[in-house]
Structure formats: structure tokens, C-alpha cells
Structure 1
Amino acid sequence: MTTTAPTLVGCSHGTANRAGQAAIRSILDDARAARPGLAVLETYVDVQEPQVEEVLGTVPGGVPAVVVPLLLSAGFHVYVDIAEAAGGRPDTVAADALGPDERLVALLHRRVLEAGAEAGDAVVVAAAGSSDARAVADVEAVVAAFASRWDGPVTVGYGSIARPSVAQAVEAARAAGAERVVVASYLLAPGFFHDQLAGAGADVVSAPLAPAAELAAIVLDRYDAAARL
């Protein structure tokens, strides 16, 4: 039985946006700071290099690894890309996605308040979107939890694939009588999807979730849960 702590491999989608890259890296930097001595590697399933299979290949033989998806919901990248990469190496497991999690809901609420949202504003929670019904269900669980905290109407919009789109959700909120509409960015970092939110027609758009110390805490919780399997 090995006594070596598994290597934590943080796997994000990847982005060409420099600020987005820095935001994602901050999550893993915070994890390293919170757990000195833990080997933490960074990898991606799209856009950036190195990809997850390559990074797993750098983990020394006999050292276990846990791939933690730096993704807010579990769709194709979690159930296929990451699962297959983890399954291709001995002593390697894939952890759960970061969401749903009550800490994400609290962080989303904080970002909305920081953006200047006020009680009574209509909030459209903006997620990336997925064709996987399980990913959509993850988002809807977060939206429902956020709605229980918010004094005003709350709906959801997606950046791609799933419907309604963010713009459609904003339009629907105005048609329902909202005087102000706030888009709550349920995205980890700046990048393509967050850039699109400015054109969705809302009065206010909140910042992405990262950087935030609680994200590293969630990553380490997912790591610990998977490492015990």
C-alpha cells in the first residue's frame, strides 16, 4: 500500500484569455498554499496545452493521481475526456466537478452584490451551457439555491447549446416587468463566454467567480473525496 499522497491534477477547459488563464492558475496556487507539500499540476481539455493525458504521463510511476475538474458542472469533458484520461493510467481517479456546491452559490451571490445588484432586481444566472442533461441539472441546482437567497426573480441563461440563451433570458425578464436585469456570471474565469455577456442586454454583469479562496477549498475537498476511494 502506497503512503505517497496522490498528485492533484487540476484540469480546466482552457482559454486564450490571459486574465482567464491567471484566474484559473490562482485556484491551483491557492490549493498549493493551503496544502504545502502536495504536488499540484495544471492541465486542460481544450484550447491550451498541455492536455490531460500528457500531464498524467509526467507523474512518476507508482505515484497515484487525482484529476480534479476545474469545471462548474459535469458534462462531456468530465464524463468522457477526463474519465478516459484517468482510466488510461493505473492508480488514477477522476474527482467530481466543482459544482453544485453551496460555497459556489454564496460566492455567486457575493459577486452579484459586488456588481451593484439590489433587492428586487431580476437576476439571470449565466452558465456556459452543455448538451449533457446532467450538466444542465447541475446548473439548475445552483440556480435554485441562489434563488432561495435572492429577493427578486431568478432565471437561467446559457452561453451555448442549452436554452434559453442569456440574451433570451434577459429579454424574458424585461417582458415580465423587470426594471433592472442583472446577469450573474456563473463562470470560473474571464474568457469567450464571459465576454459575450456584455452584449446580452442586461443592466449589470457580475465578475466571474475566480479568483476566490473558497474555490481552492472546493478543489481540495473534491481531491480528498476521490483520493479516499
Structure 2
Amino acid sequence: MSKPVLLAVAHGSKHPEARETVSQLARQVTRLAPVLDVQVAYVQDSEPSLAAGLAAAGTSVVIVPLLLSTGYHLTTHIADAASAAGVAVAPPLGPDQLLVTALAGRLAETGVPAGTPVVLAAAGSADPLAAADVRRQADLLAELLDVPVVAAFATAGTPTVDEAVAELNVRTGGPVAVATYLLAPGRFHERLRKTAATWVTRPLGGHPAVAGLVIDRYRVAAASARVTAATR
């Protein structure tokens, strides 16, 4: 009997390390949940495409978006493809307490002292719901760290990361850390490393808490799909 498929769908990137980060995350999920057949597909810029991934996955499949917030790729590209294929889609990974664990872990490994104010730096989106997701994640991180945490964006959205770093520096009179709210390396992370922050953390993709979160999202979506099927 074939295993049920967890189709992890990432944004995609031309950056050489981004694909390896996604593959590493998929391997972590496989180790934690060997009963699943973990496969990977991409919305753009990488192969296999979402369409190809769905075609190869068969019928017993749940899509888990490797996206940290809602947005156009999830509500349009992924949702439309899933609807056409008749498969379930999990919510985005964030906001979530397990991402707080991953973010705090990245800050600790970077050597950020306790009490340092933090900018939670996301890629950005024109979707206001995506920005709200990031701000909620910033609030969750602030609750754990008990320091000011400001959500900021590398592209669309305000404040920009540079603006948030400058504002926190003036407000607190001390150094500021940037907590990278990205799954994989790429041009956005390279941009963050050029800010005036004293510390900039690595992306989240290789952290064990993220792999656990992917499995949680799969289980909830799969259970919901079974309930829906049973009531038809």
C-alpha cells in the first residue's frame, strides 16, 4: 500500500542555496514522519512545478504550503491548483508558536543578548492579510522574549526593515537584532544582511521546529479532509 503524500509547496527561487534548504526541510519531515511520502514542488523559479508535483503525487495527497503567511501564491496559485485536482490544502505555516521557537533559537545561536529589541523581517506582500499574519507573529515573539518586536518588510509593506531598525535604535538607544522571517536564503536575506542591525539571523528552514510545524499542518488538513469526505 502506498504512503499518503505530503506535497510541500515552496515559493521557489533561483538562489542555489534555497532549493537545498527546502530539500533539507523535506528530509527532516521524512525522518519525523516516516509514514508519509514527502514530496516537494514549487510555485515558480524551480522544478518540479506545482502542476507537475500534483500530477506525480497521485490522489492521496495534502498540500502543505511552505509559506510563512497567507498571500497571492496561496490564495490563487496553490488554491486554484488544489481545487482543480480535488486535494486538500493546509493553512500557511505562520503565525504559530512553533515559529516562535524557531525564531528564538535563531536569535540565540546568533549570539543576540537577552533584552535586545528585534525587527521581525519578512519578505512583504501587497495582501493586507499577509502583513497582519507577520504582525501577529511579531506579537507572539514579543510575548516570549519580553522585548519590543517590530514587524517589517523587505519589499511591499511598511515599515521597511531599515526604517524599523532605525526606529528601534532611536527608541531604545541600543543595538537592534533582525530576526529573519524567511524560510530559505536568497536575495531578500542578502538584503537584510546589509541593514544597520547589529545581528541578522539565518533563515528558518533548517530548524527542527519548522519540520514539526509542517507535520502539524499536514495532520490537521488531512483530518479535516477525511471529515469532509465522510459527510458528503
TM-score tier after normalising by the smaller chain length: over 0.9
Give the equivalent residue in structure 1 for 2:91. Answer: 96
1:1-229, aligned counterparts within 5 Å?
6-60=4-58, 63-90=59-86, 92-228=87-223, 229=225
Same amino acid, percent of matched pairs? 36
Deviations 1:157-193 (A, max 9, x none): 1011111110111111122243101111111111111
* Displacement after TM superposition at 1:5 (Å): 5.0
Runs of 4+ in 1 over 6 A off after TM superposition: none
> Which structure dedicates a bigger proportion of its chain to helix?
2
Deviations 1:50-105 (A, max 9, x none): 21012111233xx2211110111111111111100101113x11111111110101
Contact 2:7–2:62 (CA under 8 A) maintained in structure 1: yes
Question: How far apart are the structure 2 equivalents of 1:35 and 1:193?
Answer: 31
Contact 1:122–1:153 (CA under 8 A) maintained in structure 2: yes
Contact 1:20–1:190 (CA under 8 A) maintained in structure 2: yes
Q: Secondary structure at the match of 2:78?
A: helix
Q: Secondary structure at the match of 1:58?
A: helix
Deviations 1:104-163 (A, max 9, x none): 011101111211211332211101111112111111111001111224322121011111
* Displacement after TM superposition at 1:4 (Å): 6.1
Amino acid at match of 2:70: A
* Displacement after TM superposition at 1:37 (Å): 4.1
**How many correspondences in the alignment?**
224
Residue 178 and residue 68 in structure 1: after superposition, are their counterparts in 2 closer, same or farther (change >3 A)?
A: same
Question: How far apart are the structure 2 equivalents of 1:122 and 1:207?
Answer: 17
Amino acid at match of 2:75: Y
TM-score in terms of structure 2 length: 0.91
Which segments of 5 or more consecutive residues in structure 2 lack a partner in the other structure? 226-232
Residue 124 and residue 178 in structure 1: after superposition, are their counterparts in 2 closer, same or farther (change >3 A)?
A: farther
TM-score in terms of structure 1 length: 0.92
Which segments of 5 or more consecutive residues in structure 1 lack a partner in the other structure? none
Q: Secondary structure at the match of 1:176?
A: helix
Alignment RMSD: 1.6
Question: How far apart are the structure 2 equivalents of 1:132 and 1:224?
Answer: 27
Question: How far apart are the structure 1 equivalents of 2:69 and 2:148?
Answer: 23
Amino acid at match of 1:116: G
